Amino acid sequence: MSETSIVSLLSHLPQGQSTVPVINPATGKKIYDLQQLSAEQVIDAVSKARDYQPILAKTGLPQRQRLLLNLHDILLGSDEKLMDLVQLETGKSRAHAFEETVGAIAAASYYGKISVKTLARRRTRAGVPLLTKTYVDQVPVGVVGIVTPWNYPLALTLLDVLPALAAGNSVVQKVDNQTALTALFARHLAIEAGWPEEAWTIVTGDGETVGNALVDSVDYVAFTGSTATGLKVAQRASARLIGYSLELGGKNPMIVLEGAKPKRAAEIAVSGAFSSAGQLCVAIERVYVPKSMHQEFLTELTKQIDALEVGRSDDFSTDIGSLGGYVQLQRVSGYVSDAVANGAELVVGGHALPNTGPYFYAPTVLNNVPASAKLYRREVFGPVLAVEPYDDLDDAIDQANDSQYGLNAAIVGPVKLATRVASRLNTGSVNINEGFRASFASMESPMGGMKASGHGRRNGPGGLLRFTETRVIGVAGGLIRLPSRAKDYEKMAPLMRIMVKAMKLFS
């Protein structure tokens, strides 16, 4: 993207109190300075969004559905530019930017197809047939606040913003400071598709300042980020009795079953653990492998990792890109050194790649990580995989479940047995013979976590319904009136008894 286009996108942000430099992680060079808004500016943006929301709601569901389908085509026509921006801001490889972009675009067609069906007024079974009728409306909550992290700036934007708009809400999105351009460009394309400018506002700035002001003024908050921040958001939202969804961290296990092929298991572990350099909430961080296959699995992993191309490229010539920046590099190297100092065996990797770029880190495998190492339980959020042999499958399942998190899990091996094991894992998704993509790519399947990995789900019809309030309309009338005096009840009692029996029979 040219410098002029970047300046033009940034011009949509108001002048803030200060600016912060945004660095291209793959090169370490500054891309631009980003405005940092004050709490008052955020409150003002929410107030304008609230004034506009009834106008948006009046456009009607069918029109908003058309706008989403329109946007789908426009996003697809700009996919190369979207990938360029995702790479520029995150440092990920073209392959992973491609995966993110196509996944994100699917949100437009999915909600473009299901919004009317999911949200249109529906008739429900009346409590007292012949005497009453009931309908259910799903109405927009008002202004939806969306908070997005830096690692999947396009997907995590569209997966939440589009259903919120489809339901007739206006949106104020707080993007991470690292990835404003991707979201600004997606919004620009939405306007090109016919969405009114006022429907979707983007605010930028410090997490606490802008995030708190947003959570304190919107009518619903959809948050994606770390569990620590999610907890703060939940407490603030609860204090105002507004609804919220939280998509948080994970410490995602993979179980390799007896009968799995070590080479295939290693391939699945590599793509599951190192996509977007492991900076993915659903990435695999720990693998439990049968003792009988342990050495062969480690040898396969090492061979496949040695063959990976780690580097910077705007085409499909590299497998793995950079970490997201200095903080990420410090975090990942800190976790690895701590694990090694505590006695974990370093199988491969375990070091930065300064000759490749300032924040590149080698894909790393650790073996037999002791419980005293910090990464044994904590989310690394980087290209680091811990391997642990097991004797007994029940024990491996217990270890997989022994976590504060419950986001994603993977199982490799015969599908019948894997399916039985899947039903014993306490995670929001379980992928069989795949790391995360089989579930993650399905727009119709709810995505989210159990335990400290989240609250509520995105995607699927529920991903749309969470942005609505429910209103029931009951209509009394018809041939017979509801009783009001005691003698009316007496007269009606025999008929009511028959009706109650009939309702059981015909329900």
Residue numbers annotated as active site = 247, 281
Q: How far apart are CA 35 and CA 298, in angstroms?
A: 47
Q: Does 381 bind ligand NAD (CB under 6 A)?
A: yes
Binding mask 245-264 for ligand NAD (x = CB under 6 A): --xxxx--------------
**Residue of 147, 165, 257, 289 interacting with ligand NAD (CB under 6 A):** 147
Q: How far is the CB of 207 from ligand NAD (least distance, A)?
A: 2
Q: Where are the alpha helices (DSSP H) in 260-380?
A: 262-274, 294-306, 326-341
Strand (E) or helix (H) holding 10? helix 3-10
Q: How far is the CB of 461 from ligand NAD (least distance, A)?
A: 18
Do residues 83 and 94 make contact, with C-beta atoms less than 8 angstroms apart? yes
Q: Does 446 bind ligand NAD (CB under 6 A)?
A: no
Q: How far is the CB of 376 from ligand NAD (least distance, A)?
A: 17
Nearer to ligand NAD, 347 or 447 (CB): 447
Stretch of 69-77, 110-118, 124-132, 141-149 lying at the interface with ligand NAD (CB under 6 A): 141-149
Q: How far apart are CA 177 and CA 180, in angstroms?
A: 6
Dihedral (Cα; 425, 431, 434, 439), 10-degree rounding: -150
Give backbone dihedrals phi and psi of 80, rounded to 5 degrees, phi first. Answer: -65, -45
Stretch of 67-75, 124-132, 204-212, 350-358 lying at the interface with ligand NAD (CB under 6 A): 204-212
Q: How far is the CB of 280 from ligand NAD (least distance, A)?
A: 7
Q: Is 194 left (phi over 0), alpha (psi -120 to 50) or beta?
A: left
**Residue of 142, 225, 290, 382 interacting with ligand NAD (CB under 6 A):** 225
Identify which of 182, 180, 165 has the alpha carbon closest to the alpha carbon of residue 220.
165
Which two three-digit tokens encode residue 345?
A: 């065996």
Q: Does 41 bind ligand NAD (CB under 6 A)?
A: no
Q: How far apart are CA 416 and CA 126, in angstroms?
A: 43
Q: How far is the CB of 233 from ligand NAD (least distance, A)?
A: 5
Q: Does 297 bind ligand NAD (CB under 6 A)?
A: no
Do residues 305 and 363 make contact, with C-beta atoms less than 8 angstroms apart? yes
Do residues 65 and 112 make contact, with C-beta atoms less than 8 angstroms apart? yes
Stretch of 67-75, 98-106, 145-153, 260-268 lying at the interface with ligand NAD (CB under 6 A): 145-153
Q: Does 207 bind ligand NAD (CB under 6 A)?
A: yes
Q: Does 302 bind ligand NAD (CB under 6 A)?
A: no
Q: How far apart are CA 224 and CA 205, in angstroms?
A: 16
* Count of alpha carbons within 13 angstroms of residue 358, beta-carbon side: 13
Stretch of 51-59, 206-214, 261-269, 498-506 lying at the interface with ligand NAD (CB under 6 A): 206-214
Stretch of 37-45, 50-58, 118-126, 241-249 lying at the interface with ligand NAD (CB under 6 A): 241-249
Contacts of ligand NAD in 270-289 (CB under 6 A): 281
Q: How many residues bind ligand NAD (CB under 6 A)?
A: 30
Q: How far is the CB of 49 from ligand NAD (least distance, A)?
A: 17
User: In 99-176, where do the E strands start and end?
Assistant: 122-124, 132-140, 143-147, 170-174
Binding mask 154-183 for ligand NAD (x = CB under 6 A): --x-----------------x-x-------
**Residue of 33, 40, 197, 208 interacting with ligand NAD (CB under 6 A):** 208
Supply the Cα-derived Rg of the chain in whole angstroms.
Answer: 26
Helix pair angle (61-77, 79-90), 10° resolution: 80
Q: How far apart are CA 170 and CA 145, in angstroms?
A: 9
Q: How far apart are CA 358 and CA 27, in angstroms?
A: 7
Contacts of ligand NAD in 46-85 (CB under 6 A): none
Q: How far is the CB of 34 from ligand NAD (least distance, A)?
A: 12
**Residue of 17, 59, 132, 226 interacting with ligand NAD (CB under 6 A):** 226
* Count of alpha carbons within 13 angstroms of residue 267, beta-carbon side: 7
Binding mask 401-440 for ligand NAD (x = CB under 6 A): ------x---------------------------------
Do residues 274 and 364 make contact, with C-beta atoms less than 8 angstroms apart? no
Stretch of 34-42, 55-63, 148-156, 265-273 lying at the interface with ligand NAD (CB under 6 A): 148-156
DSSP code at position 208: H
Q: Does 211 bind ligand NAD (CB under 6 A)?
A: yes
Nearer to ligand NAD, 131 or 233 (CB): 233
Q: How far apart are CA 213 and CA 216, in angstroms?
A: 5
Q: How far apart are CA 454 and CA 379, in angstroms?
A: 14
Footprint of ligand NAD on this chain (CB under 6 A)? Answer: 147-152, 156, 174, 176, 207-208, 211-212, 215, 224-226, 229, 232-233, 247-250, 281, 379, 381, 407, 449, 454
